[in-house]
Homo-oligomer: A and B are copies of this chain.
């Protein structure tokens, strides 16, 4: 079966950077299938990158290799890792981005994080240490091209991850994408991402809401109840989106523009 390598970066698509990653990969494995997840992560926003990667991971076949590069620390001492999960391998910097592939209960409890956490059972990680699998010379500013892409290509050819370098026992992880539950039962979350349609995607998980009779407060607006589709809505609507997170939407328009909302804005959910 053909190998798949996905790419998620903050490189944008106007420069040749993404094409260059693909050229490097195809130079090593010309038969791999390449898939872009997103290159529009806000530059150097590790949390947003981890969130977008987390929402995409479940939809790729077992054995997929994901290259994730949101890497403000490139050229410093931050580690580069291959994280092997029961489902996939993620190659990228050890800066919190790899949280995307960790189960919630293995992630940091320190907020706003990140913090170093031990790997859960069934997971392994290897430092990218053996320069045999890099592209040379290795630039100080573009490890996507010189380290992560070639390592992923070698893995797609069947290289064992442990050949890359020493096993590591812990990785840097962000807290789970999940609202905080207050003593009165209310949920305190925040906007994690504004999507192309202007929907606000929040850290409140659908499974944290026990009834559709809720009141949602966001930026001075109050939304009553949960809708089941975008189509039935009038005005601002709250619904559980297709990735399982509470979204604030506006049918046929941008909720983000209407509210002036941005990632980080707080949201509160109360059962009615």
Q: Which of B23, B40, B44 contacts A61 (CB 8 A)?
A: B23
Q: Name the residue on B nearest A53 (C-beta).
A: B16
- In A12-38, which residues have CB < 8 Å from any B CB? 12-20, 22-24, 26-27, 30-31, 33-38
**Interface pair A60/B229, CB less than 8 Å apart:** no
**Given A64-B23, A252-B44, A12:B196 Cβ within 8 A:** yes
- In A187-212, which residues have CB < 8 Å from any B CB? 193, 195-197
Q: Which residues of B contact A230 (CB under 8 A)?
A: 72, 74-75, 141
**Interface pair B61/A145, CB less than 8 Å apart:** no
The CA-CA distance from A73 to B60 in the complex, in Å, is 27
Q: How many copies does the complex hold?
A: 3
Q: Name the residue on B nearest A18 (C-beta).
A: B36
**Interface pair B38/A19, CB less than 8 Å apart:** yes
> Is A4 an interface residue, CB under 8 A from the partner?
yes
Q: Which of B15, B19, B30, B196 contacts A1 (CB 8 A)?
A: B30
> Is A228 an interface residue, CB under 8 A from the partner?
yes
Mostly, the A contact residues are: loop
Q: Name the residue on B nearest A52 (C-beta).
A: B16
**Interface pair A231/B196, CB less than 8 Å apart:** no
Q: Which of B38, B76, B231 contacts A75 (CB 8 A)?
A: B231
> Is A232 an interface residue, CB under 8 A from the partner?
yes
**Interface pair A16/B38, CB less than 8 Å apart:** yes
Q: Which residues of B contact A30 (CB under 8 A)?
A: 1-2, 4, 33, 61
Interface string of A136-178 (1 = CB under 8 A from B): 0001111001100000000000000000000000000000000
- In A72-95, which residues have CB < 8 Å from any B CB? 72-76
